[in-house]
Each structure stands twice: as C-alpha cells, then as structure tokens.
C-alpha cells in the first residue's frame, strides 16, 4: 500500500501558505474536509446530518461540534501542537478509512466515534510500571537506533521527533527523507518476529530493521541498560543545546520509571542490525488488502523466509 491519498494530499496542503479546507472523498457517506488553519495547524472537519456524539480526544486536539446554517452538523478537530502532526494525520486517515464502508451516514458517524475512543485510550499516558522483557528489549533497540543510526544524518532532536511508536503510530519511526521504519529487537535464539497489527507493515518506503539484542552482564563489551541509554540520549540533546521535552514525553507515554531495579539490573548488547526492504511482494498481512471489517490482526514472520529482502546487515563492534 502506498501512503494514503488523504495523507499525501494533506501534507501538500500543510506545506502551502494557504489556509482552508478541502473535500477528501465525494463518495464517502460523510463529508470529510482536511486542511490547515491560518496558523498552519492541521484541521479536519466532518459534516453530517446525523448529530455526532461529543467526545474528548487529547489536550492537544481541540474538538468542536456545531450546526451550520444549512442544519448540518460539523465535527471539527484542530491540532494545537504541530509536533504531533504525523500522529494527527494518521488518526484522521483512520477515521476516514474505517467509516468509508458504512451502509449509511448514521453508521459512519458511529464508526468515527469508535475510532476516536480507541485513539483516546491509545494516546493516554500509560501508568508507570514495569515493561515486560520483550517490551524492554524493544525499547533498548529503538533508543540504540536513535543514538547510533537515525541521528547520524539529522540532529538528535529531529531523530527523537521522528520516533512515533510511543505516540501511537503503527510504525516506530518516520522521517520525511527516509520514510517509515519499523524496528524489531530479538534475542539470539529467536527465529521469528512478531507483527502487532495489519497496519504495521502496510506503508510505502518501509524499512524493517531487526536488531539482535541479547542479554548480557554489566562488564561485557558494549553492554547497555535502559538508564545508560537514556543518559546518553539526554547528553546528546544537551550537547546540541536542545531540550528533552519530546524525549521525556515519549518515556511517559510508555510508562517508564527509570528508578525501577529491573531497568538498572538488566543489561543488553546489540550485536547485529539487519535491514529488510518491505516491497509489495514481502510476506505480510496488510490492512489495504483485507476485507473491510477485519482488523486487529497479529501474526509472526519466519526470518529464514525473508532473507531475500535483506538490503543491509551490519555486525556491531
């Protein structure tokens, strides 16, 4: 699946200097308008004769509901903080896609409400607690990529801003010049990777990055733990005269409390990084090819079956 026409068109509107709204799809049971405000912030307005249920979404999204002179209801969402633009675009795309096959306007507006409620729960900060070993390994891999891969060609601030997985997007990273990247961290004996949803590998220009992240002891060469990597990220931000607000926000979203003994006592070493080119013939379950109504699909991919898609593999010294 290439990037949705809605997101592609919206990015063009946001890059222009003209404010306003544009009708997305004349065949949709609802009237979807996307565009930007006078301040350049993304905005989506859904018009319908059916009255939408008023819902809250996030403190950074202004939600309004009103009737216009024609008697139609306008359900308006305006992003208040541009750093969340990529997440906001994906939210609107999800609202549009999942209501497109509704049999009538009332059903369509109800589906929009369901999407909003799901995203609200997803974007709510996770209560502080302990990550599972699989989650911790994954976070180690993502921080390692930010420090030693994605910040090579851009500032550390830009590298962190492109880390979108903790903010609810299906893929872990997105950068305008590189596209989407999905990171999977595995132990030395693992032969399969877990794919969390039908949307995770359904993006254009997707680079699947598999990191070999083994458990080790503190004295081993290259050993890192979560506090160590966090301090290194913060030091890189300080060296660039940046602020760590975006970074701290993502840790909060993940529910990470660095004081927990598990994070201090569990050490890892990244020994190999392999990149896979997720082309159209890459074996994956994609939302774009599923029958409408089927979602929340999770599955596993055998690494031996995707060797032909490797375009770079590096041993970490």
Same domain, 173 and 109: no
Q: What percent of the chain has pLDDT over 90?
A: 61
Same domain, 107 and 154: no
Looking at the structure of the chain, the number of domains it has is: 2
pLDDT over 60 (residue 2): no
Which pLDDT tens digit goes with each residue over 30-83? Answer: 999 999 998 889 999 999 998 888 887 887 899 999 999 999 999 999 998 887
Same domain, 87 and 178: no
Among the three residues 123, 150, 168, which one is the final residue of a domain in this structure? 123
C-alpha–C-alpha distance, residues 193 and 114, integer Å: 30
According to the model, what pLDDT value does residue 125 have?
A: 66
Query: In angstroms, what CA-CA distances link 97 with 92, 211, 312?
Result: 9, 32, 34
According to the model, what pLDDT value does residue 232 have?
A: 96
Same domain, 69 and 157: no
Residue 57 lies in a domain: yes
> Any idea how long the chain is?
317
Contact predicate 270/222, CB 8 Å: yes
- Give the single-character DSSP code of 29: S
C-alpha–C-alpha distance, residues 314 and 251, integer Å: 28
Same domain, 212 and 117: no
Residue 260 lies in a domain: yes
Residue 128 lies in a domain: no
Same domain, 147 and 46: no
Segment 212-240 shows an average pLDDT of 95
Same domain, 172 and 256: yes
Residue 169 lies in a domain: yes
Q: What percent of the chain has pLDDT over 70?
A: 97
- Distance in angstroms between the alpha carbons of the first and the last residue of the chain: 36
Which pLDDT tens digit goes with each residue over 107-144? Answer: 999 999 988 988 887 777 666 668 999 999 999 999 99
Same domain, 40 and 176: no
> How many of the other CB atoms lie within 10 Å of CB of 49?
13
C-alpha–C-alpha distance, residues 194 and 280, integer Å: 19
Residue 69 lies in a domain: yes
pTM to 2 decimal places: 0.73
> How many of the other CB atoms lie within 10 Å of CB of 312?
11
Residue whose entry in the numeric block shows the structure tokens 């502080």: 128
Residue 244 lies in a domain: yes
Which pLDDT tens digit goes with each residue over 87-111? Answer: 899 899 999 988 988 889 999 999 9
pLDDT over 60 (residue 1): no
Average pLDDT value for the chain: 90
Query: In angstroms, what CA-CA distances link 186 with 57, 81, 162?
Result: 34, 35, 22
Report the 3 state secondary structure along 224-262: ECHHHHHHHHHHHHHHCCCCCHHHHHHHHHHCECCCCHH
**Range of the structural domain that residue 59 is part of:** 5-123
Q: Taking the mean position of all CA atoms in its chain, how far away is CA 151?
A: 18
Same domain, 73 and 213: no
What are 35's strand-pairing partners?
21, 43
Same domain, 46 and 115: yes
Segment 204-217 shows an average pLDDT of 94
Same domain, 108 and 138: no
Among the three residues 95, 123, 151, which one is the final residue of a domain in this structure? 123
């Amino acid at each position: 699946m290439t990037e949705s026409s809605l997101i592609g068109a919206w990015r063009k509107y946001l890059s222009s200097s003209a404010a306003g709204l544009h009708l997305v799809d004349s065949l949709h049971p609802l009237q979807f308008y996307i565009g930007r405000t006078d301040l350049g912030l993304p905005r989506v307005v859904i018009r319908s004769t059916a009255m939408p249920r008023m819902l809250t979404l996030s403190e950074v999204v202004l939600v309004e509901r009103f009737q216009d002179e024609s008697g139609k209801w306008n359900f308006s969402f305006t992003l208040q903080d541009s750093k969340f633009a990529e997440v906001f675009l994906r939210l609107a795309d999800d609202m549009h896609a999942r209501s497109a096959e509704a049999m009538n306007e009332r059903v369509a507006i109800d589906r929009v409400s369901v999407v909003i409620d799901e995203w609200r729960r997803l974007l709510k900060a996770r209560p502080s607690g302990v990550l599972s070993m699989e989650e911790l390994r994954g976070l180690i891999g993502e921080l390692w990529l930010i420090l030693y891969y994605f910040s090579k060609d851009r500032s550390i601030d830009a590298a962190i801003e492109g880390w979108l997985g903790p903010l609810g997007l299906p893929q872990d990273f997105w950068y305008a010049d590189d596209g989407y990247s999905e990171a999977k961290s595995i132990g030395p004996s693992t032969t399969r990777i877990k794919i969390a949803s039908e949307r995770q590998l359904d993006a254009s220009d997707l680079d699947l990055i598999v990191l070999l992240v083994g458990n080790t002891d503190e004295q081993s060469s290259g050993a890192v733990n979560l506090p160590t990597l966090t301090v290194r990220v913060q030091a890189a931000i300080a060296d660039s005269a940046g602020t760590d607000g975006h970074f701290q926000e993502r840790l909060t979203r993940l529910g990470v409390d660095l004081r927990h003994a598990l994070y201090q006592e569990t050490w890892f070493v990244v020994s190999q990084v392999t990149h896979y080119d997720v082309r159209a013939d890459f074996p994956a379950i994609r939302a774009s090819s599923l029958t409408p109504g089927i979602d929340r699909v999770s599955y596993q991919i055998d690494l031996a079956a995707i060797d032909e898609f490797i375009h770079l593999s590096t041993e970490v010294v």
